[in-house]
Amino acid sequence: MTVLSTPRLQIRPWRPGDRPALERMALDRDMMRYVTGGEPWSAERIDAFLEDQAAGYRQHGLAFGAVTHRARDRVIGLAGIQPLDSGAFELGWWIWKDHWGQGYATEAAAAVVAHARYALELDRLYAVIDPPNSASIRVAEKLGMVFEQRISARATRAERPDTSIVLYVVRFGGPGPAPTRRQPGAGGR
């Protein structure tokens, strides 16, 4: 299982003791504002998320992992990749609200991007973002991602099917298959 390290952070698989930290994020309206429209995740959704990420780590070596402070191993967010229906991968990030604005999302996601590019040899990553989520769009831009398209959320977001999402993409070229025009699908939001 891959553990990624940055100067301040680690991104690692979830452990049983991390559930309260994930719950705190997933039940918080500010955190979920642009994920579910503010609705908290159910206990079943949290269980399914943790199961999906454990499976993702087993299958791909990386998933949406727990972001921790290196010094204290305290969970402050999540970052990583998960497969889209198209076969491409989504790059995602959450940071607990007490820590916003300190560069943590960008730092964690940059390590994920480097691993996806050089270790997993993926050819591209997509960020799936609620259009008003300006902080998340800024993170995508700082990672070198560019706007690709705005699409209906019908296929990707059960909670708000009548809204739209914006896709940002980073393409690596080099090793790996050539980019295709396949449409990304459900990203778990």
Binding residues for ligand COA, rule: CB under 6 A, are: 31, 34-35, 93-95, 100-106, 129, 133-136, 138-139
Select from 91, 98, 59, 57 the least CA-distant residue to 75.
Answer: 98
Cα 45 from chain centre: 16
Shortest distance (Å) from residue 181 CB to ligand COA: 23
Mutual orientation of helices 104-118 and 134-142 as an angle, nearest 10°?
50
Tell me whether residue 122 or residue 143 sits nearer to ligand COA (CB atom): 143
Q: What is the DSSP letter of 5?
A: E
Tell me whether residue 58 or residue 74 sits nearer to ligand COA (CB atom): 74
Tell me whether residue 30 or residue 51 sits nearer to ligand COA (CB atom): 30
Let me know: does 149 contact 131? Beta carbons within 8 Å: no
Tell me whether residue 71 or residue 178 sits nearer to ligand COA (CB atom): 71
Tell me whether residue 103 or residue 185 sits nearer to ligand COA (CB atom): 103
Q: What is the DSSP letter of 18?
A: G
User: What is the rounded distance in angstroms from the CA atom of residue 24 to the CA atom of residue 165?
Assistant: 25
Shortest distance (Å) from residue 178 CB to ligand COA: 27
Tell me whether residue 122 or residue 128 sits nearer to ligand COA (CB atom): 128
Shortest distance (Å) from residue 29 CB to ligand COA: 11
87's tokens = 């076969």
Shortest distance (Å) from residue 132 CB to ligand COA: 9
50's tokens = 């943790």
Shortest distance (Å) from residue 116 CB to ligand COA: 17
CA angle 171, 4, 36 (to 5 degrees): 65
User: What is the rounded distance in angstroms from the CA atom of residue 184 to the CA atom of residue 91?
Assistant: 12
Shortest distance (Å) from residue 145 CB to ligand COA: 11
Count CB neighbours of 27 within 10 A.
15
